[in-house]
Amino acid sequence: MKNQLDDAQRMASETGQLLAEARNLMASCNRIHTGTGYANLTDMVLGASKTGERLTEKLRRLSLEVVLDTMKYEQYQSDLVRIHGIEIRYLDGILEVTAPVLVPHRKESYTDYLYKPLHTAFQRWCKSRREEGQEIPEYDRCTVCFLHLYDRELPLGRVRDHDNVEEKHALDVISNFFLVSDGGLHADTYHISRLSEQDATRIFVMDAEKFPRWVGRF
C-alpha cells in the first residue's frame, strides 16, 4: 500500500506542475496577444488531464482494496456518478444518457475517463430500478444515437468526423446492461454533432422502428 500511496503522490505532483506551466504559458499568450503557443498549452493541459486520470484510477483501485465497509463503498460509487455528472433517463421506451464529456477520438490511448464512470452509473441505475420494482429496458433490435455537443466558444477544429469517434467501447458498456447484442443484426448506430453551451455527449437508445420519426426533430 505504501508504494501505491507514493505513486499517487508523485502523480499528483506531476499534475500540479503541468498545470502551473500551462497557466504561465496562457498568461504569456494573453500578454503578447498571439496564438503561437496554443499548441504547447494544449499539450500541457492534455498531459495534466491524462496524469490526473491515471491518478484517479489508482485511487479508485486503492479505495477498493482498503474500504472494507460495504455500505461505505456503495455510497462512494453513488457519489462517483454525481461527481461525473452522468444522468440517465428512461421515458416512452427511450433510454437517454448524458455525460459532460466528449466521446474519445478513436486513436486516443486512454478512454477510461468516460467508459468506467458509465459502467458505474449503469450499475447503480439498474440496481436502483430493481429495488424499486421498475422496468430495466432490454433492446433486441435497436438504434443507438450519439449526439455530440461541442462548446461553441472553443475552436471549430475540435469538431470531429463521425468516423473518428470511438463508439465501440461505449456501445460495449451499453450492451452489457441493455442490449440483447451489439451485433450488426441487433444494433444500428447513428451520430449527430451540434454546437452548444458546453461539451457533452447524449446517447439515446430506442427500438429501431422509433428512430426515423424521433430523429426528424434534428
* Predicted confidence band of residue 142 (pLDDT cuts 50, 70, 90): very high
Q: Which residues contact 41 (CB under 8 A, 6 or more apart)?
A: 22, 25, 26, 29
Q: Are residues 144 and 36 in the same domain?
A: no
Q: Are residues 17 and 41 in the same domain?
A: yes
Q: Are residues 15 and 123 in the same domain?
A: no
Query: Is residue 150 within 8 Å of residue 100, measured between CB atoms?
Result: no
Question: What are the Cα distances from residue 38, in Å, to 33, 35, 44, 136?
Answer: 11, 5, 10, 46
Q: Which of 17, 39, 66 is the C-terminal boundary of a domain?
A: 66
* Higher pLDDT among residues 85 and 83, named by residue: 85
- Report the C-alpha gap between 61 and 32 in whole angstroms: 44
| pTM summary value | 0.70
Q: Are residues 108 and 170 in the same domain?
A: yes
The whole domain housing 9 covers 1-66
pLDDT in tens, 91-137: 999 999 999 888 877 766 555 656 788 888 999 899 999 999 999 99
Q: Which of 9, 34, 66 is the C-terminal boundary of a domain?
A: 66
Residue 94 pairs with which residues in a beta bridge? 91
* Predicted confidence band of residue 90 (pLDDT cuts 50, 70, 90): very high
3 state SS of 48: helix
Q: Are residues 75 and 58 in the same domain?
A: no
Please say whether the dihedral angle defined by the alpha carbons of residues 14, 16, 17 and 19, taken in this order, is positive or negative.
positive
Q: What are the counts of helices (DSSP H) followed by strands (DSSP E) for the chain?
A: 6, 5
Helix axes 38-66, 70-84, angle to 10 degrees: 160
